[in-house]
Amino acid sequence: MFWTNRAHPDNVWADTVHGRATMKVADVILPDFHDTIAALQHKPPVAIGTLSMNVTWKGGGKLERVDDDEKDVGGTVVQGPASVWFHVESDDGFSYTSDRHGQKTLVAEVRSERNGVFHH
């Protein structure tokens, strides 16, 4: 299952040169449809959840330039560790808070990208 939601610009910050960024959202209402089929069939949700989340990209890798004329995209990328904290609770009594400690970053990067007519 996945959700997409627009974040207010004040809740997102990025320093693309150093690969650091944050995204914070609070009290986002998410209907829980149990499964994808129920959501696609517009069935009523089984519960309504509220999500708060902070994602932090810490950077630290070297700044690399990316330029791919075939895909018509260019920009910069910096890799480094990232961490996620979130809290979700639903109106049916479920509640969960993630643990910030012991997280391992497999791949995290902050990119500055230009494509199409903005590529060159």
Q: What is the pLDDT along the chain (120 residues), one digit of tens a residue?
A: 456 778 889 999 999 999 999 999 999 998 989 898 998 999 999 999 999 999 999 999 999 998 989 989 999 999 999 999 999 999 999 999 999 888 999 999 999 998 887 777
Q: Write down the pTM of the prediction.
A: 0.79
Contact 21, 12 (CB under 8 A): yes
Domain limits, the chain: 9-118
Alpha carbon separation from 60 to 50, 79, 84, 117, 118 (Å, rounded): 33, 7, 17, 30, 27
In the numeric block, the tokens 């994602």 are attached to 55
